[in-house]
Amino acid sequence: MIVKQLKLSQQEKERLIRLKAKTGISQWNVLCRCALCWSLDNPAIPMGPEIPSDSNVEMSWHTFGGECHEIYDAIVRQRCKEDGYDKDQATIARHFRLHLNRGINFLASKNGPKNSQELLALVLPQKWS
């Protein structure tokens, strides 16, 4: 597992609240999974400062990933490898957080989805949507 516990920043929490209102999806973990998938599909490498863990939204890795937690773990590790980063746990955890943060920022932005159908179109491959 990449992290035992995931705690969101206050800014991420506020953005997810807006995204919940737009899409009608009420589970934090589902929205976070969508955000991660969107970011992992973006070929640019996410950058940025350390992301604070200053909100009251916290979930375990198993809650975040659900039945597919091992798949999310493998995909993030593979993306780190493809981007040329070390395989050490701290590096993988940092890049997971950067991807998650970038995905949340985009999905909650003006250019992000306006409803659940648009969200699904962004995160599912075209052949599935």
Whether the Cβ atoms of residue 8 and residue 80 lie closer than 8 Å to each other: no
Please give the pLDDT value at position 125: 67
Average pLDDT of span 104-108? 96
Whether the Cβ atoms of residue 1 and residue 60 lie closer than 8 Å to each other: no
Residue 22 pLDDT more than 70? yes
Report the distance separating Cα 101 and Cα 106, nearest Å: 9
Report the distance separating Cα 40 and Cα 96, nearest Å: 9
Please give the pLDDT value at position 126: 64
Report the distance separating Cα 39 and Cα 123, nearest Å: 9
Any idea which of 50-64, 65-79, 115-129 has the lowest mean pLDDT?
A: 115-129
Average pLDDT of span 81-88? 91
Whether the Cβ atoms of residue 80 and residue 89 lie closer than 8 Å to each other: no
Q: How confident is the model at residue 129 (pLDDT cuts 50, 70, 90)?
A: very low
Query: Would you identify the CATH topology of the domain 5-123?
Result: Arc Repressor Mutant (1.10.1220)
Output the pTM of the full model. 0.93
Domain borders along the chain are: 5-123
Please give the pLDDT value at position 127: 54
128 versus 78: the higher-pLDDT residue is: 78
